[in-house]
Chains A and B, each alone.
Chain A
Amino acid sequence: MEDEQSFSDICGGRLALQRRFYSPSCLEFCLSCPRITLRSLTAVTCTVWLAAYGLFTLCENTMILSAAIFITLLGLLGYLHFVKIDHETLLIIDSLGIQMTSSYASGKESTTFIEMGQVNDVVINEAIYMQKVIYYLCILLKDPVEPHGISQVVPLFQSAKPRLDCLIEVYRSCQDILAHQKATSTSP
């Protein structure tokens, strides 16, 4: 079953949180980031081309104009393929692990899977980000040497950067599954 809710990120952009419930032990959250707007695209293209035209009037070399066109095209392709993230997905499977997928605007997907044996806990943490204090959800990984220590902190939803209300929703569901998993794994 699926349901969708609308939230906002730390800058005020609109986010959509889709929750899919496959079974009591398997849950998926999909957070869609705000799309690239026509206004920003036009602004960047106009700036680059005006600058190129200005250089052209100085140097009288037409190579600058063609170079500007190439730069714009390649820059846009590179931005869509390497930088702009379309949506981020979090899949939690009880007794297997937690998987984070980032899908870029060009369709590329990059996935990380963390086994349940390495997960210590999922918490909401505070951080100072530029001039703001923001909340973020993160996974705490176990230290192989020390049983109760923490070796690494893996932040989630780094591109979408949702606000606290969205994080609380995800946090509650994660904690349910983790509690269930701890209960079944510690009992003999």
Chain B
Amino acid sequence: MGLVSRGAAEAGRGAASAVDRPGPPDAVPNPTPTPPAEGADPGSSRSPGMVLKAFFPTCCASADSGLLVGRWVPEQSSAVVLAVVHFPFIPIQVKELLAQVQQASQVGVTVLGTWCHRRQEPEESLGHFLEGLGAIFSHRPWFQLCRERGSKSWSCKATHWQGPASPAASGEDQVMLIFYDQRKVLLSQLHPPTALPDRQAGDTTASAGGLAAVFDTVARSEALFQSDRFDEGPVRLSHWQSEGMEASILVELAKWAAGPVCLFLACLLSLISAASACRVFKLWPLSFIWSKLSTCEQLRHRLEQLTLIFSTRKAESPAQLMRKDLIGQLADALIPVADRVAEELQHLLQWLMGAPAGLKMNRALDQVLGRFFLYHIHLWISYIHLMSPFIERILWHVGLSACLGLTVALSILSDIIALLTFHIYCFYVYGARLYCLKIHGLSSLWRLFRGKKWNVLRQRVDSCSYDLDQLFIGTLLFTILVFLLPTTALYYLVFTLLRLLVVAVQGLIHLLVDLINSLPLYSLGLRLCRPYRLAAGVKFRVLEHETGRPLRLLMQINPLPYSRVVHTYRLPTCGCHPKHSWGSLCRKLFFGELIYPWRQRGNKQD
């Protein structure tokens, strides 16, 4: 009795001294009236004037009186309150429950103090009862939070006492109350700004950073939130589930039905994968075509994705919009476009066969090359006209597969472009080969001119003595090749530019497909609809403050900005970067070597 009244007197004096001295900012007030006793109890790092932090869930602010249950973090001198145990209770059962929770969740949950929610200041008897509890549950510091019903004034004390044996006075510390929304903190995931070294998954100690420890504690204490104050168990708790257990009939039904549906879909997909992996498709012409068509690559990618997760169906499904007449219109439009392209190419060749840009070409070579390419175009146009009745049907069947997403539709578009411009590709290959041959011939004959030779064995240039007739023929050939060079070079230049244009368009489409593939839609949707799930940090707001009362703060979750969401959750793209650098590309163009811009997705060798 004497101990309790002295404790109350000290508390009164402490509060009074805090009221007397609001203090100018540069004075450091010391409201603790008693110095810490020697032989202070172990496990609590405390010094005069230190401020203790108590994280209190907002859902418990209106709960009835009881015991505070949570975790004490001595490194940050903060207490994280997880739930309130209501009267009446049996201390043994409370201790049992806490031991169970501690074992299940590896979080050191203990009784931290008492919570009092009454109409007026607690009476003497209740005060003695509450302080008696402090003797039963030994935890230092012992928190006593009190709130008057219907008012905003809170009071809290944190006491350290030595036990009933020694009559030394108990010390008190200032307490700062920080309110947090328990449900949001439970579901949220903190993204640290700097790359901290990874911790092991089974780490039971507090993680680095005070706030990360709070988030960690709440997230791991799920076992404590199983039972509620309305349940019939021996111990009645109040926490975020007390405001109403979260459940939805539809969600429950969906969860129950998801099992068999997933199993069925998995079987179907494995059938399709097995069918596509069968030996027929591995034969040489087919496998070559499959690897070059970007549609097949995209379909394979889509198949892989579907086998992993069943929810990657994209929002856009253009096939549903494709009615019959639209396909017909598209098919009708394709033939004139192909005709137009062929016509433009013919005009271009006629221009080259004349005097292009005022340059004088070698007439004979010009006519030969021009006629050769014109004949090719003629073949191509006949082929297109032959295929025109079937185009519509093919397009409709191909368009069906576009229901697998916008990326597949884009890949189909890229492949259609590649097929329609196949003749440009052929012309590029012819022109490049001719030019390459000419350049090689020229370089070899130039070496002959100077009396040198390329040594294949030693891979270097050696001097060599030629016979007179060798020199004569070599010089003749060299002259011929040099004078035919402008014509060949011009044809090569024109067709290379056309080919590069087509490659650029295809490259843009592939870039777009890669972008769509790697966009983390789920994370973006989560950031939009449930911003508290992805937390970049926290923000504090100071609530109404009266002198003499403890400082109250509200802790809210600061959501992650969209740019960081995309950066952190970016899906791995399967597109590879081009193999050539700009320098090697220019070199290849100059020497007439063929450029292969195909991106080998999922292919390990280059």
Binding site for B on A (CB under 8 A): 1, 21-28, 91, 93-96, 99, 101, 111-113, 115-118, 144, 151, 172-173, 176, 180, 184, 187-188
Whether B242 sits at the interface, judged by CB under 8 Å, is no
Binding site for A on B (CB under 8 A): 22-23, 25-29, 45, 47, 49-51, 53, 76-77, 174, 176, 178, 194, 196, 209-211, 537-540, 542, 545, 551, 553, 558
The interface residues of chain A lying within 8 Å CB-to-CB of B178 are 96
Minimum-distance CB pairs A-B, first 5? A111-B539, A187-B47, A184-B50, A23-B551, A176-B26
Known: A28-B542, A144-B196. A115 touches B22 (CB 8 A): no
A-B contacts, 10 listed (Cβ < 8 Å): A23-B545, A25-B51, A93-B176, A93-B553, A95-B50, A95-B51, A111-B537, A113-B537, A144-B196, A176-B26
- Apart from A115-B211, A151-B194, 4 more pairs, CB < 8 Å: A21-B25, A91-B542, A172-B26, A173-B26
A177: nearest residue on chain B (CB-CB)? Answer: B25
Minimum CB–CB distance for B140 against chain A, Å: 15
A117 to B211, CA, bound (A): 10
The interface residues of chain B lying within 8 Å CB-to-CB of A22 are 542, 545, 551
Minimum CB–CB distance for B408 against chain A, Å: 35
Minimum CB–CB distance for B191 against chain A, Å: 13
The interface residues of chain B lying within 8 Å CB-to-CB of A112 are 537, 558
The interface residues of chain A lying within 8 Å CB-to-CB of B540 are 91, 93, 96, 99, 113
Q: Is the CB of B25 within 8 A of A173?
A: yes
Q: Is the CB of B28 within 8 A of A113?
A: no
A101 to B538, CA, bound (A): 12
Q: Is the CB of B47 within 8 A of A27?
A: no
Point out which of B196, B540, B558 has the most chain A C-beta atoms below 10 A from its C-beta.
Answer: B540
Q: Is the CB of B25 within 8 A of A184?
A: no
Known: A22-B542, A23-B551. A94 touches B537 (CB 8 A): no
A23 to B24, CA, bound (A): 10
A175: nearest residue on chain B (CB-CB)? Answer: B26
Minimum CB–CB distance for B387 against chain A, Å: 43
Minimum CB–CB distance for A115 against chain B, Å: 6
The interface residues of chain A lying within 8 Å CB-to-CB of B196 are 144
Known: A95-B77, A111-B558, A187-B47. A101 touches B53 (CB 8 A): no
Minimum CB–CB distance for B542 against chain A, Å: 6
Minimum CB–CB distance for B28 against chain A, Å: 5
Q: Is the CB of B28 within 8 A of A24?
A: yes
The interface residues of chain A lying within 8 Å CB-to-CB of B76 are 95
The interface residues of chain B lying within 8 Å CB-to-CB of A21 are 22, 25
Q: Is the CB of B538 within 8 A of A113?
A: yes
Point out which of A24, A25, A94 has the most chain B C-beta atoms below 10 A from its C-beta.
Answer: A24
A151 to B196, CA, bound (A): 13
The interface residues of chain A lying within 8 Å CB-to-CB of B47 are 184, 187-188
Point out which of A91, A116, A172 has the most chain B C-beta atoms below 10 A from its C-beta.
Answer: A91
Minimum CB–CB distance for A144 against chain B, Å: 7
The interface residues of chain A lying within 8 Å CB-to-CB of B22 are 1, 21
Q: Is the CB of B26 within 8 A of A95?
A: no
Known: A95-B77, A111-B558, A172-B26. A26 touches B542 (CB 8 A): yes
A176 to B27, CA, bound (A): 8
The interface residues of chain B lying within 8 Å CB-to-CB of A176 are 25-26, 28
Minimum CB–CB distance for A100 against chain B, Å: 10
